[in-house]
Amino acid sequence: MVKTRFAPSPTGNLHIGGARTALFNYLFAKHNNGIFVLRIEDTDIERSKDEYTKDILDGLKWLGILWDEGPFFQRERMDLYREHAYRLLNQGLAYRCYCTPEVLEEKRKNALKEGRKPNYDRTCRDLNLKDPDRPYVIRFKTPLDGQVSFNDIVRGKITFNCEELDDLVILRSDNTPTYNFTVVVDDALMDITHIIRGDDHINNTPRQILIYNALGYKLPEFAHVPLIHGKDRTRLSKRHGATSLLEYKNEGFLPEALMNYLARLGWAYGDQEVFSKEELIEKFDLKHVGKSPAIFDMDKLSWLNSHYIKTSEENRIAGMLEGFLVKSGIEIDNREKLVPIVRNLKDRAKTLKEMAQMAEFFFSDEIIYDEKAKEKYLTHETKKILEGFLEGFVSLKENDEAGQKLLIENIVKETGKKTVDVVQPIRVALSGRTASPGIFDVINILGKKSVEKRIKRAIASIG
């Protein structure tokens, strides 16, 4: 039975890299009919915050990465880690270290000065000290020589010399455990079979393997996934734009676009670009995860988002569009307009936010005219066009598109102007702008009353 986990530390919002790690774990588990576990690694009490935990859970739910077990919280499992640390201590596989922070700092400085690695010099390793009155940490007894190797599913065989590894602290003097220790205890007790994570954790893996061995637990498989880089080939950061997942939600990206995009960040299936969630589950494997960093490409994400806006059910997009409109303070006078608006804008809007901006004018007759548009198209010269249009329009039935077309053709004939010069003033009167969806679509989405009101208002604004 395959069992994977996503184990974020709630010391920041869920970012693109974390979401991708979660997704790979989720897809690998689902592909193998396995189980996906969520574990919040909140042992760093100062930096962990509930708001970050919430952001992580909300982000995963939004993407559609649903966990089968958890969320587990490491803070609720402290006794387990302590028990395990003392078990190693009692078996002589770990030791109490009484070196004070000041002494350690001194040793570290000297080592650096003399060009040595600033590893702990193991003063307390064989002293068997036990003094109940002084604070101590518990350190793991790393073998002094030999090697640790593992076959990484992505990277192949990786070998470390034990010499390079420190006697790491597993339990601090305040009785809190450290990451490399809790992660092993949890992964072992939760029966995790595959550890899929960022390759910034490769250096931790040999330490963790030694702890598995000392505790007598079975080793999982490891797959270290290359990090995500920006277009300039440096590690993805704020400089490259939004890095927090929910920022993309707020910018109007669809969760399926993000999921599709994240899956392709570092994994490939021939040259296929568009995948539904079901297809990802069916096709995902670790063999096709690349060894070099994936490059985050905003244009491609935008392209996928447009694709899903175009192809998703209009009703669903309309519901989301409504959320964006409400958020920008628009009162929805008539929800029936939403689906026709989506039908109209879905080929042009790259995000729901953009669609909402394009759609705002549909909802209030008190539109604000774009200054340049007003200057150019709401003038004494065009007033006659608007008056002529209004006169003909009031006697037309609702949604009589043929009648509307004829009306405009007649104005063109009477005034001797070009069609665009007749249409543009009407467009500005109705939408406030020079660019909008097709004029007849605008007229019919707005409805007869609203069109009349807007034309009258534009005429009045000319004075």
Footprint of ligand GLU (CB under 6 A): 7-9, 41, 183, 197, 201
49 is catalytic: no
Q: Phi, psi (5° rounding) for residue 235?
A: -55, 135
The smaller minimum CB distance to ligand GLU, of residues 111 and 190, is found at 190
Catalytic pick among 157, 238, 287, 397: 238
* Contact yes or no for 176/78 (Cβ under 8 A): yes
The smaller minimum CB distance to ligand GLU, of residues 38 and 459, is found at 38
Minimum distance, C-beta of residue 203 to ligand GLU, in the bound complex (Å): 12
Helix H segments across 240-346?
Answer: 245-250, 255-263, 277-283, 298-311, 314-327, 338-345
Pairing of strands 194-198, 221-225: parallel
Question: Alpha-carbon Rg of the chain, whole angstroms?
Answer: 32
Minimum distance, C-beta of residue 202 to ligand GLU, in the bound complex (Å): 11
The smaller minimum CB distance to ligand GLU, of residues 14 and 124, is found at 14
Minimum distance, C-beta of residue 217 to ligand GLU, in the bound complex (Å): 15
* Contact yes or no for 215/185 (Cβ under 8 A): yes
Minimum distance, C-beta of residue 205 to ligand GLU, in the bound complex (Å): 9
DSSP conformation class of 311:
H
The smaller minimum CB distance to ligand GLU, of residues 9 and 13, is found at 9
* Contact yes or no for 261/301 (Cβ under 8 A): yes
Residue 411 CA to residue 419 CA, distance in Å, equals 9
What is 227-260 written as a DSSP string?
A: PEE-TTSSB--GGGS--BHHHHHHTT--HHHHHH
The smaller minimum CB distance to ligand GLU, of residues 47 and 117, is found at 47
Give me 371's structure tokens. 């200054």
Minimum distance, C-beta of residue 148 to ligand GLU, in the bound complex (Å): 16
- Residues known to be catalytic: 238
